[in-house]
């Protein structure tokens, strides 16, 4: 039964990814812009163009191209980047850790800020504190992440320059890392000087990405908490002598978190989408930044690879959310 | 530490209002002696549940107490700081809720839900609390405590959940239990068992109970004293036996007449007489007028 559900899930994921691959493959080939034209100097002969086109397999039909590409993907070969002339998979995996670290830090910040605001707002419901939280989250939500990025650059990069506004790590530093997960490795290797430098670079883009999500969590979780706080078992907990904070943390939070969790999963995928522009804004060397370069250069194999990796990420996040939902909800677990 | 003469619960002249100024409790006074079962009876909206919630400090935020005192074993609840009040209520009172299906947290196992007050509020050790809970589960005739303690609420029937809640209420040996229509949400067949169980535990533990109900049959079975409420006002107060033998207030009489009898359920269902209602309305109006004069 469980195995069957798991297999169905796996199949759905595969179909989703295939669909994404088809759509991206077609769209970037139908859209105007020619990667070959961008590679050759002006005045190249038609013969040169045709030769290069054949070299990258772009002379075949879209259907033929797709299946050539797909058979490569199945074998783990995502092709060669046209603009960087390197293996796509290698390029993507080289950049992915930076984006994952940024998105994770942003998610942790969003949950921490949003969760705290929600708990505070629910505890102080009906007071000026709750109104203040509502106003703040309204403002955080109505400003998109890239605009927050600009605001932060102006505030803490230009007016009061306390944080680094560009890159992932200070270039003069010696990096002893074996993988691209710099932040994780710096902590494991107890090189907290590097951790600090990495965080100083990461803080502003992470806040920019986190603020809208924090606002959503704050509003939704606060609403759920307020509903749960009127329920009988919460009243019973108050009669037992527990304080409002204890009641919220011990009785209400877990049940109120369920509806929020689903939405946070969806919103987290938006957050990862947001890394594309925000990474560009802060010249952060992640996958999103590379995606923009790939689009500008019409680097078809690279775009396909990046999009597919993003799609895989989204599918995995949804899977994780479903699993956490079942873990938190005993009725689902036994049902 | 308290003189034996002191009532377990002493409510004096308690009035509460809604934001629109409507009084939902109208100068309620009642005393519950130690070990006594006091029934609060009245129709829906009469304020009987409200009194229970006021005592336990869990009134909805919209309801405001404007007058009166509540003394729990001589301690004026209104004069205590919030934390001290909370702890006192947690230590000396308990609630048997109306609906066992919603009164247990769906995402926590039964065991910790039963022991958390003992351990975290009263400071018992985990082992002591566990032993105590098992003893109480035995008293409410739950034969497989091992399984029940590990269950989530949805794995138990309504009757079982109410047994669990009753056991939890008596576990800390409270002086006063507020039972808020504890059988209303249950099947008729289970109602009787649960009622018998509450009565039995009450006798054995000598706990005072403020028993909120709309069912006069239940009142007759379980209580020693009754307060009849209408529109937040105590219209009659008497020993249970005396009340059933000779009800004084016309509304009490009408309530008794409205109790269905199994021999002839339809003919016996009489709505409260218009004349009685008019009399009640006049009584309430007079009480409000008298109350408003000094309170502006």
Contact A250 B116 (CB under 8 A): yes
A153 and A19, same structural domain?
no
Q: Residue B205 pLDDT more than 60? A: yes
Query: For strand B9-17 and strand B225-230, is the pairing parallel, antiparallel, or unpaired?
Result: unpaired
Task: Tell how far CA B96 is from the center of its chain.
Answer: 7
A152 and A107, same structural domain?
yes
Last residue of a domain, one of A40, A74, A108: A74
Residue the block writes with tokens 């947290």: B105
**CA contacts within 13 A on the Cβ side of A44:** 15
Tens-digit pLDDT profile for residues A208-262: 999 999 999 999 999 999 999 999 999 999 999 999 999 999 999 999 998 898 8
* Inter-chain Cβ pairs, chain A and chain B, closer than 8 A: 73
Nearest to A325 by CA among A268, A267, A258, A266: A258
Which stretches of chain B sit within 8 Å of chain A by CB?
56-58, 61, 83, 86-87, 89-91, 93-95, 97-99, 102-108, 116-117, 120-121, 152, 154-155, 165
- Dihedral Cα B96, B101, B107, B108, nearest 10 deg: 30
CA dist B233 → A225, B170, B179, B253 (Å): 35, 30, 20, 16
- CATH number of residue A111's parent domain: 1.10.3720.10
A15 and A104, same structural domain?
no
Chain B residues in contact with A243 by the CB 8 A cut-off are: 83, 86
CB atoms under 10 Å from CB of B43, counted, come to 14
| Chain B residue whose CA is closest to A329 | B107
A14 and A109, same structural domain?
no
Contact A239 B103 (CB under 8 A): no
pLDDT at B273: 77
Residue the block writes with tokens 């859209």: A31
| pLDDT band (50, 70, 90) for residue A39 | confident
A109 and A211, same structural domain?
yes
Last residue of a domain, one of A74, A100, A115: A74
Contact A81, A299 (CB under 8 A): yes
Q: Residue B296 pLDDT more than 60? A: no
Q: How far apart are CA A180 and CA A97, in angstroms?
A: 6
Contact B132, B116 (CB under 8 A): no
Average per-residue pLDDT in chain A?
Answer: 90
Q: Residue A325 pLDDT more than 50? A: yes
Q: How many domains does chain A have?
A: 2
Last residue of a domain, one of A74, A101, A122: A74
Q: Residue B254 pLDDT more than 90? A: no
Q: How far apart are CA A129 and CA A121, in angstroms?
A: 7
Q: Where are the domains of chain B?
A: 9-295
In a domain, residue A82? The reply is no
pLDDT at B269: 63
Q: How far apart are CA A8 and CA A15, in angstroms?
A: 11
Average pLDDT for B175-203:
92
A312 and A255, same structural domain?
yes
Average per-residue pLDDT in chain B?
Answer: 90
What percentage of chain B exceeds 70 in pLDDT? Answer: 94
CB atoms under 10 Å from CB of A335, counted, come to 8
Contact A242 B99 (CB under 8 A): no
A232 and A319, same structural domain?
yes
What's the CATH code, domain B9-295? 3.40.50.300
Per the structure, the complete domain to which residue A208 belongs is given by 88-334
| pLDDT band (50, 70, 90) for residue A9 | confident
Burial bucket for residue A17 (CB in 10 Å: 0-12, 13-18, 19+): middle
CA dist B220 → A278, B14, B54, B216, B236 (Å): 73, 26, 25, 6, 15
Q: How far apart are CA B181 and CA B211, in angstroms?
A: 7
Which stretches of chain A sit within 8 Å of chain B by CB?
126, 231-233, 235-243, 246, 250-251, 254-255, 328-331, 334
Q: Residue A333 pLDDT more than 70? A: no
A107 and A51, same structural domain?
no
Contact B91 A241 (CB under 8 A): yes
Chain B residues in contact with A242 by the CB 8 A cut-off are: 86, 90, 116, 120-121
A230 and A321, same structural domain?
yes
A125 and A65, same structural domain?
no
In a domain, residue A79? The reply is no
- Testing the interface with A: which of B107, B162, B178 to mutate, by most A Cβ within 10 A? B107
Contact B15, B31 (CB under 8 A): no
pLDDT at B1: 46
In a domain, residue A162? The reply is yes
| Chain A residue whose CA is closest to B55 | A239
Contact B95 A236 (CB under 8 A): yes
Residue A249 tokens, joined: 């943390």
| Chain A residue whose CA is closest to B154 | A331
Contact B89 A239 (CB under 8 A): yes
Contact B133, B111 (CB under 8 A): yes
Q: B273: which DSSP letter?
A: P
Chain A residues in contact with B93 by the CB 8 A cut-off are: 239
Nearest to B33 by CA among B219, B287, B239: B239
pLDDT at A290: 95
| Chain B residue whose CA is closest to A253 | B107
- Testing the interface with A: which of B72, B77, B86 to mutate, by most A Cβ within 10 A? B86
| Chain B residue whose CA is closest to A334 | B155
A93 and A62, same structural domain?
no
Within chain A, what is the greatest distance between any pair of CA atoms? 86
H or E segment to which residue A320 belongs: helix A300-328
| Range A187-195, long-range pairs (CB < 8 A, 24+ positions) | A194/A169
In a domain, residue A80? The reply is no
| pLDDT band (50, 70, 90) for residue B282 | confident
Contact A236 B116 (CB under 8 A): no
Sign, CA torsion B95/B100/B105/B108: positive
Q: Residue A56 pLDDT more than 60? A: yes
In a domain, residue A83? The reply is no
- Dihedral Cα A121, A126, A130, A131, nearest 10 deg: 160
ipTM of the complex: 0.89
Contact B107 A238 (CB under 8 A): no
In a domain, residue A25? The reply is yes
CA distance A334 to chain B (A): 9
CB atoms under 10 Å from CB of B67, counted, come to 16
Q: Residue B266 pLDDT more than 80? A: no
A55 and A138, same structural domain?
no
What percentage of chain A exceeds 90 in pLDDT? Answer: 62
CA angle (B22, B24, B25) in 5-degree steps: 130
Tens-digit pLDDT profile for residues A177-205: 889 999 999 999 999 999 999 999 999 99
Which of A126, A232, A328 lies nearest to residue B103, judging by beta carbons?
A232
């Amino acid at each position: 039964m469980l195995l069957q559900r798991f297999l169905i899930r796996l199949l759905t994921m595969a179909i989703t990814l295939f669909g994404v691959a088809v759509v991206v493959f077609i769209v970037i080939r139908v859209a105007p812009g020619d990667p070959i034209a961008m590679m050759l100097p002006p005045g190249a002969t038609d013969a040169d163009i045709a030769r290069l086109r054949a070299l990258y397999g772009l002379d075949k039909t879209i259907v033929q191209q797709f299946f050539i590409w797909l058979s490569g993907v199945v074998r783990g070969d995502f092709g060669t980047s046209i603009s960087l002339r390197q293996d796509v998979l290698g390029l993507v995996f080289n950049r992915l850790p930076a984006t994952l670290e940024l998105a994770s830090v942003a998610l942790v910040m969003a949950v921490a800020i949003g969760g705290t605001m929600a708990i505070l707002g629910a505890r102080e419901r009906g007071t000026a504190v709750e109104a203040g939280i509502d106003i703040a989250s309204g403002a955080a939500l109505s400003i998109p992440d890239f605009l927050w990025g600009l605001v932060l650059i102006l505030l803490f990069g230009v007016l009061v320059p306390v944080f680094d506004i560009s890159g992932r790590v200070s270039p003069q530093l010696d990096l002893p890392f074996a993988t691209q997960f710099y932040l994780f490795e710096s902590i494991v290797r107890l090189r907290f000087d590097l951790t600090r430098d990495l965080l100083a670079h990461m803080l502003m883009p992470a806040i920019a990405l986190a603020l809208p999500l924090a606002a959503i969590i704050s509003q939704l979780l606060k609403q759920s908490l307020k509903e749960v706080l009127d329920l009988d078992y919460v009243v019973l907990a108050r009669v037992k002598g527990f304080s409002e904070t204890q009641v919220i943390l011990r009785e209400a939070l877990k049940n109120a978190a369920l509806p929020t969790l689903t939405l946070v999963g969806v919103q987290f995928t938006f957050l990862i989408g947001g890394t594309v522009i925000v990474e560009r804004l802060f010249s952060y060397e992640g996958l999103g930044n590379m995606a923009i370069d790939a689009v500008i250069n019409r680097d078809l194999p690279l775009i396909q690879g990046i999009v597919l990796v993003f799609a895989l990420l989204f599918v995995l996040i949804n899977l994780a959310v479903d699993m956490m939902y079942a873990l938190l909800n005993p009725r689902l677990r036994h049902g | 530490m308290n003189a034996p003469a002191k009532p377990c619960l002493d409510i004096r002249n308690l009035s509460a209002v809604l934001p629109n100024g409507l009084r939902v409790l109208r100068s309620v006074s009642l005393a519950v002696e130690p070990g006594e079962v006091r029934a609060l009876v009245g129709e829906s909206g009469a304020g009987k549940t409200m009194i229970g919630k006021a005592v336990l400090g869990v009134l909805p935020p919209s309801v405001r107490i404007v007058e009166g005192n509540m003394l729990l074993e001589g301690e004026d609840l209104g004069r205590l700081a919030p934390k001290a009040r909370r702890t006192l209520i947690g230590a000396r009172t308990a609630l048997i809720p109306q609906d066992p299906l919603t009164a247990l947290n769906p995402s926590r196992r039964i065991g910790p839900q039963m022991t958390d007050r003992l351990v975290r509020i009263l400071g018992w050790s985990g082992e002591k609390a566990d032993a105590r809970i098992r003893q109480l589960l035995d008293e409410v005739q739950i034969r497989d405590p091992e399984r029940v303690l590990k269950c989530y609420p949805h794995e138990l029937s309504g009757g079982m959940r109410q047994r669990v809640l009753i056991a939890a209420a008596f576990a800390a040996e409270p002086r006063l239990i507020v039972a808020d229509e504890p059988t209303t949400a249950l099947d008729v067949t289970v109602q009787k068992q649960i009622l018998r169980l509450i009565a039995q535990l009450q006798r054995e533990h000598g706990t005072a109970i403020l028993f909120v109900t709309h069912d006069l049959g239940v009142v007759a079975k379980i209580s020693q004293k009754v307060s009849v409420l209408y529109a937040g006002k105590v219209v009659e107060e008497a020993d249970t036996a005396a009340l059933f033998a000779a009800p004084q207030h016309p509304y009490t009489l009408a309530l008794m007449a409205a109790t269905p009898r199994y021999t002839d359920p339809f003919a016996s269902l009489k709505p409260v007489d218009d004349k009685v209602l008019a009399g009640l309305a006049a009584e309430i109006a007079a009480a409000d007028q008298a109350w408003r004069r000094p309170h502006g």
